[in-house]
Amino acid sequence: MANRWTNTLSQSDVTPEAAFLNRRQLIAGAAAGFGLAGVAGVSNAQEALTPNSWEDITQYNNFYEFGTGKTDPAEYAGALTTTPWTVEIDGMVKNPGKYDIDDIKAAMTIEERIYRFRCVEAWSMVVPWNGFELADLLEVAGVQEGAKYVAFETLYRPEEMPGQRFQSLDWPYVEGLRLDEAMNPLTLMATGIYGKDLPNQNGAPLRLVVPWKYGFKSIKSIVKITITDKEPPTSWNKANAREYGFYSNVNPNVSHPRWSQASERMIGGGLFAKRVPTLMFNGYEDEVASMYEGMDLSKQI
């Protein structure tokens, strides 16, 4: 069923016809002797909304609390206790408090959103998330006048998060959004993938998903949300301000200091893994570009 957000499809929208057409293009590209270069020519916009497999999504992760390797989260995150789980909402809100995750989930409308997901390391996936709009949660919390930003914090529990015993990052992991970004209808609080609860390695029981920004903005296993009038510190910016800014909007025209962001490697597909052009705002330009009017996106990274 199509939902009200353009550029957002639920799984039933990815028709067999579209899948067939994509396969035909793959075969045509290969048969015409283009080889892998021909495959890379398949349009990102069309191909990208076929979700990655459960295995791709849950076995290739970044979650430094469990180690810096891509398979560390799948290997070690099982030990994390996610019940009970509370999320503290504080700062400039009318209804501050510690809320049980089950109460939050019961109160919110959980929907499916199939989004492109683009890591700053230049790999990407397509993930069928389940979750609710952050805007809905903020509405219940009651944002006070004068608020400008939303800050997020991940659980700090080194007994269960072995990566926190090392200073790979300054713990706990923190992130932030400008209030208008947080209120954008695309901004999701994810609770599941493929209709199942979020696996621990993907940020159980609650993680942010901001599809037009590099993946590190999508903070996992959130225990605290603070509404504030000051730009909050963010983990990767603290670690290396020259390489990672507060905004971190996906932008093929602005290279990371150590690599190009013009294209990305789509995870999965084995032999047919593709490198495709990266899209401005990760393909969500129509929905989000207006928030950045007047900003120099090559400077305010």
The residue ranges that bind ligand MTE (CB under 6 A) are 61-65, 119, 154, 173, 202, 215-216, 218-221
Of the pair 58, 99, the CB lying nearest Mo ion is at 58
The minimum distance between CB 215 and ligand MTE, in angstroms, equals 3
Q: Which CB, 153 or 287, lies closer to ligand MTE? A: 153
Residues between 117 and 146 with contacts to Mo ion, criterion CB under 5 A: 119
Number of residues that bind Mo ion (CB under 5 A): 4
Contact 277, 252 (CB under 8 A): yes
Please identify, using beta-carbon distances, which residue of 18 and 122 lies nearer to ligand MTE.
122
Q: Shortest gap between Cβ of 250 and ligand MTE (angstroms)?
A: 12
62, 187, 235, 282: residue in contact with Mo ion (rule CB under 5 A): 62
Distance CA 263, CA 100 (A): 41
164 touches, from ligand MTE, Mo ion, none (C-beta below 5 to 8 Å by class): none
Rg (the chain; Cα; Å): 19
Cα 292 from chain centre:
19
Residue nearest to ligand MTE (CB): 215
Q: Which residue is nearest to Mo ion (CB)?
A: 119
Give the separation between CA 59 and CA 72, rounded to whole angstroms: 9
Count the neighbouring beta carbons within 10 Å of the beta carbon of residue 280. Answer: 16
Q: How far is the CB of 182 from Mo ion (least distance, A)?
A: 20
Q: Write down the least CB distance from residue 268 to Mo ion, Å.
A: 17
Instruction: Report the nearest approach of ligand MTE to the CB of residue 73 (Å).
Output: 6
In the complex, the smallest distance separating the C-beta of residue 129 from ligand MTE, rounded to whole angstroms, is: 10
Q: Which is nearer to Mo ion, 199 or 215 (CB)?
A: 215
Q: Which is nearer to ligand MTE, 132 or 244 (CB)?
A: 244
| Minimum CB distance to Mo ion smaller for 143 or for 267 | 267
Partner whose footprint covers residue 85, from Mo ion, ligand MTE, none (CB < 5 to 8 Å by kind): none
Between 39 and 301, whose beta carbon lies closer to ligand MTE?
301
Binding flag, residue 215, Mo ion (CB under 5 A): yes
